[in-house]
Amino acid sequence: MAAVDVVTEIVIARPRAEVAGYAADPENAPEWYENIERVERESDTRVAFVARFLGRRLAYTYEVRERVPGERLVMSTAEGPFPMETTYEWADAPGGTRMTLRNRGRPSGFATIAAPALAAAMRRANRKDLERLKRILEARA
């Protein structure tokens, strides 16, 4: 099976605690993720999302696997044809905070054939989402 591993980074001209606090709060996801329509917190470690990606509606629940406030957040889902892990990392950088967004998984079924196209679409979406996050947070300065 083809693995998908997409890493995207951006520097945001805001303090790390602010960037991490905002990005790690799932309630903010529909504001900065273009494809996320709805979020429902089920518990401290489970968050349900409804999204649209490549014209399809997706409903999935992430489990928080690791949380180091201000440094790292790892969530994963085993649901659907594309089990995925999403990692956010924050580090001090010249001019602000470097945020890294990583999505990786191992698609099954038809998604296996489409893995290269899926990775390219994810890369474009992640870049746009991080740019949107940057605009939102830097506008608050």
Provide the pLDDT confidence category of residue 78 given band limits of 50, 70 and 90: confident
The answer on pLDDT for 28 being more than 60 is yes
CATH 3.30.530.20 for the 4-33+62-139 domain, yes or no: yes
pLDDT given at position 110: 57
Q: Supply the mean pLDDT for the chain.
A: 90
**Domain residue limits, the chain:** 4-33+62-139
**Is the dihedral angle over the CA atoms 19, 39, 37, 57 positive or is it negative?**
positive
Cα–Cα distance, 124 to 141 (Å, whole number):
27
Q: pTM for this one? A: 0.89
pLDDT given at position 122: 87
Q: For 15-58, give the secondary structure using H, E and C.
A: CHHHHHHHHCCHHHHHHHCCCEEEEEECCCCEEEEEEEECCEEE
Stretch 38-66: mean pLDDT, rounded?
89
DSSP-derived letter for residue 100 is E
